[in-house]
Amino acid sequence: MGQDIKLTASDGFQLGAYRADPAGAINGAIVVIQEIFGVNHHIRSICDRLAKEGYVAIAPSIFDRITPNFQSGYSPDEVANARKFVANPDWAAMLRDTQAAIDVAKSAGPVGIIGFCLGGSIAYAAATKLTGLSAAVGYYGGAVVRFADDKPDVPTQLHFGEKDAGIPLTDVETIKTKRPEVEVFIYPGAQHGFHCDERASYDKASSDIAWPRSLDFFAKHLKR
């Protein structure tokens, strides 16, 4: 359904991206921000699902500055290798590349952003720092708690797993306390990555609740 495209960031850097377009009427656009595993099969499938809902979906390859075209699976060795990208993350560069995707997406109408894992943190940061967005959704973003003093400029919704080994519930409570205007959902028994059906931690019951919530949120806030 989708195609590979190129984006140009404000500093002139060119990065790759995956774009999926609806077959019929367009309801707006959603920028999809990857996990640490690149714009892989899972992220592309998210874009394709959003396109079927009527959204132009663009997933920028935010690791292209380090390793162009990086994609990974979810085996223990692949997970260990992918972690190198977040040992010392360049948030400013990733946000520049995210802004490049937003700027292209705007021609389709109101723009939302959704991110997973690292992308969940970027989606939150984008809601506080970037321009051109109308709504933001983040799934299990571990760094959101670090950014929670920054207030989102657009309606924001966050999803966390109760049993996420990397995001303690105390962090989630801190976010809820600091940002009462943000919708925060916790999924009982769910682990990190619960929405990804290619991971061992996939939790179908939680995913089947979280995804419609996300779509309803976008439908509400991405109105022309």
196 is catalytic: no
The 10 Å Cβ neighbour count of residue 67 is 12
Give CA separation, 204 vs 77, 120, 123, 150, 175, in Å: 25, 19, 23, 32, 25
Closest CA to 43 of 76, 20, 14: 20
- SS3 annotation, 54-120: CEEEEEECCCCCCCCCCECCCCHHHHHHHHHHHCCCCHHHHHHHHHHHHHHHHHHCCEEEEEECHHH
164 is catalytic: yes
Of these residues, 97, 103, 117, 203, which one is catalytic?
Answer: 117
Residue of 119, 162, 125, 126 lying closest to 141 (CA atoms): 119
User: Which position among 103, 164, 171, 203 bears the catalytic label?
Assistant: 164
Q: Could you count the other beta carbons within 10 Å of the beta carbon of residue 200?
A: 10
Burial (CB count <10 Å: 0-12, 13-18, 19+), residue 219: middle
Catalytic residue among 192, 195, 196, 203: 192
- Which residues are marked as active site? 117, 164, 192
